[in-house]
Amino acid sequence: MINRRRQAALALTALLATAAACQNHARQENAAPPGQPAPAVPAPGGGFTLVASGDVMPQKSAIDHANLDAGGNGHDFRPMLAGVEPVVSHADLALCHLATVADGQSGSPGVTSPPQLAEGLAAIGYDGCSTASDRALDGGADGVKRTLDTLDGAGLRHAGTARTQAEAATVALLNAGRTRVAHLSYTFDVNGNPLPPGQPWAVNLLDENRILADARAARQAGAAVVVVSVHWGTDGQDAPDQQQLTLAKRLTAARTGGRPDIDLILGTHAHIPQAYEKVNGTWVVYSLGDQLAGELYNRQGHQDPRGNQSTLARFTFTPPTRPGGRWEVAKAEFIPQLYDLDAGRVVDLNAAIDQGADFTAVRDSIRDVVLSRGAAKDGLVMGE
């Protein structure tokens, strides 16, 4: 079974990588100079598509795979992520969640990751990452600087942590089609790490009033759409906890001049997929799951395969129908993913469905959880 799954995943990766190279030709022709974000390609009708994925936090086995893919010389995460490149690269705006700290050399398990991780994320089409997580301060202020320097070097925008007070006060505005999207990021915890002395702004901590104030400031800075990434929830629990439910209701209820302050909430940290739900007219993803992790264990010390299951969220936004109106989500989709431990590859389960009953069962399990709070009645579908 292990060999069959490895061979299937490797074959699928090669096929999708070839397709992506052809399909991304127009985007590559419009690429920005090295070190600058690539310009977004406008979606038909003036709207745009946004794709978002969950925690990227490679464990030692994943880092070892990246070293193998680099021929033993450094690390190459592009083959590992190539299976989802067709979905990510075709979005007008693609966001990830970096739940690890970049190190200066080769990485160490569970805490830091090689700098080539950012290069791999940028190479398959991500435009930016949220960085506020419980691991954000594992390396202290130096780790924050190192991580953000690494993202800058790869041409990835970022939100959630900061090297300076001025950076912390600056809204991350990204191009999406013909409009501007603000990306905000917050975490409920920093894993017991103290805030760096004199730098309380180093990481954005979860606070309802702070989030709403920042969202309103983002509007004033020119954001047509405000996206909030929230590191919250209970590890290994596929149902959102009370904090998630309460905060989601309060954040989505907030309005200024009759317009919602927040247009989309993207949740991470639970390490497994959780439900999508439309709350007060706004889509909330309670947990996207871990896009790239490795061996994860539950509180009983048993390996939990759900820790390598996740979704890509894809939302198609359309312009307001009246002046001062909100950008509406015309189409809401989720795409089930699996990080295949044996092959060391992130797999688009829809694309791999003919590879065997094991992939089918995982896909169906993810679908059931995602739809568990009635999102299908509000139009959420499993995307291709």
Helix axes 116-123, 140-154, angle to 10 degrees: 40
Count, residues in the chain: 384
Using CA atoms in the order 59, 267, 216, 208, what is the torsion angle rounded to 10 degrees?
Answer: -100
Cα–Cα distance, 203 to 189 (Å, whole number): 10
Cα–Cα distance, 133 to 14 (Å, whole number): 33
H and E: helices and strands count for the chain: 11, 19
pLDDT, residue 342, reads 93
Asked whether 256 and 212 are in contact (CB, 8 A), the reply is no
For residue 259, the one-letter residue type is R
Cα–Cα distance, 333 to 337 (Å, whole number): 13
CB-based contacts of 311: which residues, under 8 Å, 6+ apart? Answer: 53, 54, 273, 285, 288, 289, 334, 335, 336, 337, 366, 370
Entry pTM? 0.88
Asked whether 67 and 116 are in contact (CB, 8 A), the reply is no
pLDDT, residue 352, reads 84
For residue 283, the one-letter residue type is W
Cα–Cα distance, 209 to 329 (Å, whole number): 25
pLDDT, residue 45, reads 61
Domains in the chain, start-ordered, CATH in brackets? Answer: 2-382 (3.60.21.10)
Q: Reduced to 3 DSSP states, what percent helix, strand and coil does the chain have, rounded to the nearest 5?
A: 35, 25, 40
pLDDT, residue 69, reads 97
Query: Over the stretch 132-145, which tens digit does the pLDDT of each residue have?
Result: 999 999 999 999 99
pLDDT, residue 23, reads 38
Q: Where are the beta strands (DSSP E) in 75-178?
A: 93-98, 101-102, 112-113, 128-130, 157-159, 172-176
Query: Over the stretch 304-328, which tens digit does the pLDDT of each residue have?
Result: 889 999 999 999 999 999 888 999 9
Two structure tokens written together for 88: 């990510």
Cα–Cα distance, 87 to 91 (Å, whole number): 7
Which of 308, 272, 302, 297 shows the shortest CA–CA distance to 287? 272
pLDDT, residue 354, reads 72
Low-confidence ranges of the chain (pLDDT < 70): 1-45, 104-111
Quick one: 151 exposed, middle or buried, by C-beta within 10 A (0-12, 13-18, 19+)?
buried
pLDDT, residue 122, reads 98
Cα–Cα distance, 319 to 46 (Å, whole number): 7
Cα–Cα distance, 218 to 226 (Å, whole number): 7
